Amino acid sequence: MDKNIAIKLTKLSDIQEVDIHLNDIIKLRGTLPDEVSALQRYIKKMSEKIVENEDLLATLQQDIVNKKEFLKTTEKKVQRYEAQQMEVRNNREYDAITKELELSKLDMQLAEKFLRTAYEKIEKGNIDLEELNKLLKIKENELTLKNQELETILKASKTEEDKLNRKRENIKNTLGEMLYNTYERIRTNVPNSLAVVSIKKGACGGCCIVIPPQQKLVIYERNKIVSCEHCGRMIIASEEATD
């Protein structure tokens, strides 16, 4: 038995234990953390949409002011043309003024049409905004409740979690960077998040594939860290094993 390796094997088993506990704590939170972040994303998107709509409405309001101003000036122009029409001296002058008059009247019609549409848009836009704000309020309340719920759960497990994380940090230092990184890589790649398993009835405790006798011997000798040939998990001998 290599004493150094034996220590590392025990530490591997320890960090795995700690991570199982931490996972259990995280599992207790269920889908709540995901629900909270989904709600936050939704609210952010919605708030942006509301600001966007408000900006559009403000632009439209300004367009209305401008168009009304334009209507006023055009109306004055029309009155002026109508007065001039009475004082023309020849047909050519009359035709020219009539043409200007017609154009101005057309401008007025178009402006009035624009105003009608703009008013309709504003009315509809305001109704939409009201709906969006109502929905936003509902979602914000929902988020507050879910956040409170999550905070309660987080608070309840905080002491335990802190203790486990401190323990984890200590083990991590003993393992050394390379071995710790290997552990992390395996842990994040296997479906049950177990990077370290023990022999169970002659098989790998992770994938249940039988371990060759020669490899089993090496595991029990504890002078080498052995990985399962099938699933890649690190295999340790259980303390009392005479497997």
Note whether 68 and 101 are within 8 A (CB).
no
DSSP string, 43-100: HHHHHHHHHHHHHHHHHHHHHHHHHHHHHHHHHHHHHHHHHHHHT--SHHHHHHHHHH
- Which residue type does 208 have? C
Note whether 159 and 198 are within 8 A (CB).
no
- Which residue type does 205 have? G
204 binds Zn ion (CB under 5 A): yes
User: With respect to Zn ion, which residue has the nearer C-beta, 207 or 218?
Assistant: 207
Binding window for Zn ion (CB under 5 A); candidates: 85-93, 146-154, 186-194, 204-212: 204-212
Q: How many residues bind Zn ion (CB under 5 A)?
A: 6
Task: Name which position in 171, 228, 234, 236 contacts Zn ion (CB under 5 A).
Answer: 228
Q: How far is the CB of 159 from Zn ion (least distance, A)?
A: 35
Query: What CA–CA distances, in Å, run from 20 to 78, 197, 220, 240?
Result: 85, 12, 24, 21
The radius of gyration computed from the CA coordinates of the chain, to the nearest angstrom, equals: 39
User: With respect to Zn ion, which residue has the nearer C-beta, 164 or 194?
Assistant: 194
User: With respect to Zn ion, which residue has the nearer C-beta, 204 or 236?
Assistant: 204
Binding window for Zn ion (CB under 5 A); candidates: 33-41, 81-89, 115-123, 206-214: 206-214
Q: How far is the CB of 206 from Zn ion (least distance, A)?
A: 4
207 binds Zn ion (CB under 5 A): yes
Binding flags for Zn ion, 104-123, as an x/- string (CB under 5 A): --------------------
Note whether 231 and 190 are within 8 A (CB).
yes
Which chain residues interact with Zn ion by CB under 5 A? Answer: 204, 206-207, 228, 230-231
